[in-house]
Amino acid sequence: MKPPYWQDDYSAVWYGDAIEVMASLPDRPDLIVTSPPYNLGIGSGGGMAHHDNPKDLTTSRMRHLSTPNYYGDHDDAMPMADYIHWQHDFTKLAWQMLSDVGALAYNHKPRIFDGHEIWPTTYVHPDLEPFLRQTIILDRRGGLNFTATFFVPSYEVLLIYARPAWRLQDGAWGATSVWPMPRPQRARWHPAPFDKSIPKRLITATNPGLVLDPFMGSGSTLIAARELGVASYGIDAHLPFVNQAIIDIAQAEPGMMVLQASARTRQRAAALLQPGLDL
């Protein structure tokens, strides 16, 4: 196993390519929550991709998103066929490494490209199609893509690919499939931070022993897991993001969910994250 770039009693972070690091991990997560780069550097029919004059955009975040290199070394303007192939490889490996009671929660959004809508299942390997348990609608309550060719997109989706034995915990059965997607109040240094309320909702509803976010970004998934006392792994290929996310993760107050969870959860958390490893 490739050693973590950083870890403590609750969390471990790897700096590197998501697929390469995932292939080296011996542990099988019960929940994978992730939101990959959306390939926003290419586009057609409206939006911010290849904006003629980024200075016309109203905020520094929008100006940052108007360039294809806002993820550092990652090219967020890949040819669409290459992007789909990359995401197919990623989602297939993510599914293979899940535990027998695990689920992959894959966040993406519908996009209008070359005059037609691309639904996010396009980015998921076809082998996973029989295991799509549910589509959660994430309501953003607004959007930025103003164009005469389509209505403003105002939602994203969370695709839940689940093992047959995956179940919600008692108390989560009544939750609906439309969730608010609030604008994050933290991680303003990241071009597209993921609000921690979404992974926190998934964790409390499923009680995993180990959570993995292969596209960790601003660290929201690991912060949510930490605040609930659940062991978590994160991976990211952009070192400035990794270093800043580690600061935010380490500052998050550990919760008590591990103490209240099942013996299996406590044992796995203790075994997966051994304190005192000199990195």
CATH T-level topology, domain 6-272? Rossmann fold (3.40.50)
- Average pLDDT score over residue span 185-203: 81
- Mode of pairing for the β-strands spanning 132-139 and 155-162: antiparallel
> For residues 93 and 102, what is the distance between their CA atoms, to the nearest angstrom?
13
Beta bridge partners of 215: none
When mean pLDDT is compared across 17-21, 89-93, 149-153, 205-209, the lowest value belongs to 149-153
Q: Is the pLDDT of residue 271 over 60?
A: no
- Average pLDDT score over residue span 171-194: 80
> Which residue did the predictor score with more confidence, 97 or 170?
97
Beta bridge partners of 15: 236
- Average pLDDT score over residue span 222-250: 96
> For residues 253 and 117, what is the distance between their CA atoms, to the nearest angstrom?
41
> Which residue did the predictor score with more confidence, 95 or 279?
95
pLDDT band at 262 (very low <50, low <70, confident <90, very high): very low
Summarised one tens digit per residue, pLDDT across range 44-91 is 544 444 333 333 333 334 444 444 445 566 677 789 999 999 999 999
Q: Is the pLDDT of residue 236 over 90?
A: yes
Asked if 43 and 52 count as a contact pair (C-beta separation under 8 A), the reply is: no
pLDDT at residue number 2: 87
Whole-structure pTM value: 0.82
- Average pLDDT score over residue span 230-251: 96
pLDDT at residue number 237: 95
When the pLDDT of each residue in the chain is averaged and rounded to a whole number, the result is 83
Residue with tokens 């992959």: 104
Summarised one tens digit per residue, pLDDT across range 133-177 is 999 999 988 777 788 888 988 999 999 999 999 999 988 888 899
CA distances from 15 to 141, 165, 189, 200, 214 (A): 34, 32, 18, 23, 10
Between CA 126 and CA 133, with CA 128 as vertex, the angle to 5 degrees is 130
pLDDT band at 114 (very low <50, low <70, confident <90, very high): confident
pLDDT band at 12 (very low <50, low <70, confident <90, very high): very high
pLDDT at residue number 64: 45
Beta bridge partners of 160: 105, 134
Summarised one tens digit per residue, pLDDT across range 100-109 is 999 999 999 9
> For residues 26 and 268, what is the distance between their CA atoms, to the nearest angstrom?
13
Q: Is the pLDDT of residue 129 over 80?
A: yes
